[in-house]
Amino acid sequence: MSYPTALPRAAVTLDHGFLAGRARLVRETVIPWQWEALNDRIAGAERSGCVHNFQVAAGEKPGKFHGLFWQDSDLAKWIEAASYRLGTHPDAALDAELDRLVATIAKAQQADGYLNTYFQLVEPQQRWANLRDCHELYVAGHFIEAGVAHFEATGKSALLDVVCRLADLIDRTFGPGPDQVPGYCGHEEIELALVKLARVTGVARYRELARYFIEQRGRSPNYFEQEAQRRGEAGKLPWHMHHDGLGTLQAARPVRELTEPVGHAVRMMYLLAAMIDLAADRKDAALADQCRGLWTAITTRHLYVTGGVGTEPYGEKFCEPFDLPPDRAYAETCAGIGVVMCARRLLEHELRGAYADVMERALYNNVLAGLALDGRTFFYVNPLEVVPAVAKRRYECHLVKTQRVPWFGCACCPPNVARLFASLGDYAYAQTADGLAVHLYAGGSARFHAGVVPVRLDVRTEYPWAERIEFRIEPASAVAFTLQLRLPGWCRAPRLTLNGAAQAIENIAGYARLRRTWSPGDRVELELPMPVERVRADARVFAAAGQVALQRGPVVYCVEEADNGAQLSALALPRAASLAARFAPDLLGGCVVLEGPAVRTPSGESLYANEPPAPVPVRLRAVPYALWANRGEGEMRVWLRES
């Protein structure tokens, strides 16, 4: 069996509609803007120091290191994003800029392959001395992903060579051998990067090293405990590891024993992504089963309705099952991207619409909330309920921002959004053994081969605002293949036509399967009715008990103070009230809003009363959650009471 895989990046075009608009924003605004941030040229933003650090390490300028242990990774993720952009939209100036940057990085790399400006400039004696906290291998992982992306986009091997030298150093340093370090990184990332590197270079030992890192993790004697002992810190754990201890780093017990997600959410998702990749490449059925089990645990017990994960602000961690508080949601943008990454990888194992449903939920809601409409400000934390005065006041909400900001001292999320949206085609389509699968619906086209015959699939749609997706199939010549179109789990009654004639849908695990000999100009229309749905959480989700979230298609809605006034908790939706969906072209860049009758309980004189004021009728307007906080500061909430 051959797994479905992403199309080459240049084979996918996104040219109209919502996702294309976001991708264009990332291409034209976010990536250049972040380059300014990485060069410390944005007034009022927290300083990055990333480019500066490399220039200093390369001897190109004097100066001191600025930032955190893992500062370099922000630059690596940006290079990855910029490379994706170059792959789909050639740009000589960006190409040259990247070449210059890569040359600086190559100059900064040490003779033995080591590359990390913090440890080169600040603590050269401490290399690999604190794998638990210092993220050296994590940073290396992001450079490896950047090197692979730059090579794939440009065919140039300058950065790939750098990261292979780095990976070779790591491969010599870590492992089970007598002169090797039996360690692994406190923040997973290098594992999935090494699998990518193995796939691109064909060098199997990179994959073997990824496997070693995963298998070794959490085994007894525990490497992090030994390492802490060597540093004279035995028995001491940093504060963010409260309650879970080394489980915060998925290292309290062997990874193979994990059945529930544990610890820091981004790390957990990155680890899972690597495990899914390894299970595929190594045809490890037991590991694949474990991955599916973990995915089920995450998506049936730990997932916000927005697709976010990680509910504990202290340590950015998974918490108890079903404990999904809206106000203290962490739901880090990066963790939502981790959900998207894992979903795509699971779809490569098995074409199941349920994976794509979660991918779409996370992408359209949690992840997109991370990015402002103007492409210049970002959220790290994505709560489902904000009362600004309270969020600013309560210590347990101190990481919640009520407005997006231009950059962060720890700026993992902004370039992560950039690299995801610059490679969105990877998530939209998959080449299957006998044709093409479409996971996400976005206006544009995809080129692939059916056997030896080149085929172009044109997609016209205003999804997710519109219900209709029109496909035009343009093979170079008539050819048989299977087109698999995802039937979203939220859609109760999809309809399909082929060249204008209604078709019975063959629903195979959430995909409409169309196998036939396709001729140029064949037309398929998929209609996905999008009534306004009231989504309820399982009764065990105590923070959402008795409340509903509004959803239309894949888009989860929220109410904002800008539309509904303050004290949003006083609003309730009558059970029988019907909300109408309307495309508002001038609102929030053009989006579908939901409007209808609601009631609002007025405030009274006394704090507690037996007979409260009667609710008064009001009009309610809900906007897409991902677009909140684009109109100044105000209250927001996703879960609404019914009355």
Binding flag, residue 618, its own copies (CB under 8 A): no
Min separation Cβ 208 and its own copies, Å: 37
Binding flag, residue 63, its own copies (CB under 8 A): no
Residues near 125 by beta carbon (within 8 Å), at least 6 away in sequence: none
- H or E element at residue 140: helix 136-154
Helix (H, G, I), strand (E, B) or coil at 620: strand
- H or E element at residue 555: strand 555-560
Residues near 178 by beta carbon (within 8 Å), at least 6 away in sequence: none
Instruction: Please list every residue from 325 through 344 that binds its own copies, using CB under 8 A.
Output: 328
The answer to whether 186 and 237 are in contact (CB under 8 A) is: no
Nearer to its own copies, 158 or 535 (CB): 535
Residues near 157 by beta carbon (within 8 Å), at least 6 away in sequence: 151
Helix (H, G, I), strand (E, B) or coil at 437: strand
Binding flag, residue 351, its own copies (CB under 8 A): no
Q: Token pair for residue 458?
A: 């044109």
Binding flag, residue 259, its own copies (CB under 8 A): no
Number of residues that bind its own copies (CB under 8 A): 56
Q: State the Cα–Cα distance between residues 467 and 554, nearest whole angstrom.
A: 11
Binding flag, residue 347, its own copies (CB under 8 A): no
Indicate which residues carry an active-site annotation: 316, 412
Q: State the Cα–Cα distance between residues 167 and 161, nearest whole angstrom.
A: 10
The answer to whether 371 and 30 are in contact (CB under 8 A) is: yes
Note if the bond before 531 is cis, omega within 30 degrees.
Answer: no
Binding flag, residue 256, its own copies (CB under 8 A): no
Q: Token pair for residue 409?
A: 């001292």
The label of the residue with tokens 């082929």 reads 498
Binding flag, residue 109, its own copies (CB under 8 A): no
Region near its own copies per CB under 8 A, out of 113-121, 259-267, 580-588, 610-618: 610-618
Q: State the Cα–Cα distance between residues 614 and 603, nearest whole angstrom.
A: 10
In terms of C-beta density within 10 A (0-12 exposed, 13-18 middle, 19 or more buried), how is residue 160 classed? buried
Min separation Cβ 301 and its own copies, Å: 7
Binding flag, residue 277, its own copies (CB under 8 A): no
CA 419-139-401 angle, 5° bins: 60
The answer to whether 629 and 619 are in contact (CB under 8 A) is: no
Residues near 10 by beta carbon (within 8 Å), at least 6 away in sequence: 87, 88
Binding flag, residue 387, its own copies (CB under 8 A): yes
Nearer to its own copies, 130 or 547 (CB): 547
Binding flag, residue 535, its own copies (CB under 8 A): yes
Which of 540, 583, 590, 619 binds its own copies (CB under 8 A)? It is 540
Region near its own copies per CB under 8 A, out of 81-89, 132-140, 179-187, 540-548: 540-548
Which of 546, 590, 617, 632 binds its own copies (CB under 8 A)? It is 546
Beginning with the edge strand found earlier in the chain, give each strand of the sheet holding 429-432 in spatial order: 429-432, 435-438, 479-486, 511-518, 507-508
Residue type at 252 in one-letter notation: A
Nearer to its own copies, 24 or 536 (CB): 536
Which of 538, 583, 590, 619 binds its own copies (CB under 8 A)? It is 538
Binding mask 288-327 for its own copies (x = CB under 8 A): -----------xxx-x-x------xxx----xx--x----
The answer to whether 87 and 11 are in contact (CB under 8 A) is: no
Which of 238, 451, 521, 602 binds its own copies (CB under 8 A)? It is 602
Binding flag, residue 545, its own copies (CB under 8 A): yes
Q: State the Cα–Cα distance between residues 83 and 80, nearest whole angstrom.
A: 5
Instruction: Please list every residue from 139 through 198 that binds its own copies, using CB under 8 A.
Output: none
Which of 533, 560, 561, 563 binds its own copies (CB under 8 A)? It is 533
Binding flag, residue 502, its own copies (CB under 8 A): no
Binding flag, residue 564, its own copies (CB under 8 A): no
Min separation Cβ 392 and its own copies, Å: 8
Quick one: DSSP state of residue 625? G
Nearer to its own copies, 173 or 299 (CB): 299
| CA 141 to each of CA 188, 190, 607, 610: distance values in angstroms, whole numbers, following the listed order | 9, 4, 55, 60
Min separation Cβ 269 and its own copies, Å: 17
Binding flag, residue 394, its own copies (CB under 8 A): yes
In terms of C-beta density within 10 A (0-12 exposed, 13-18 middle, 19 or more buried), how is residue 92 classed? exposed
Binding flag, residue 477, its own copies (CB under 8 A): no
Binding flag, residue 242, its own copies (CB under 8 A): yes
Binding flag, residue 607, its own copies (CB under 8 A): yes
507 pairs with which residues across the strands? 512
Binding flag, residue 608, its own copies (CB under 8 A): yes
Min separation Cβ 297 and its own copies, Å: 11
Nearer to its own copies, 122 or 616 (CB): 616
Which of 238, 542, 617, 632 binds its own copies (CB under 8 A)? It is 542
Binding flag, residue 519, its own copies (CB under 8 A): no
- Which residues contact its own copies (rule: CB under 8 A)? 242-243, 299-301, 303, 305, 312-314, 319-320, 323, 328, 387, 389-390, 393-396, 398, 490, 533-542, 545-546, 549, 567-570, 572, 600-610, 612-613, 641, 643
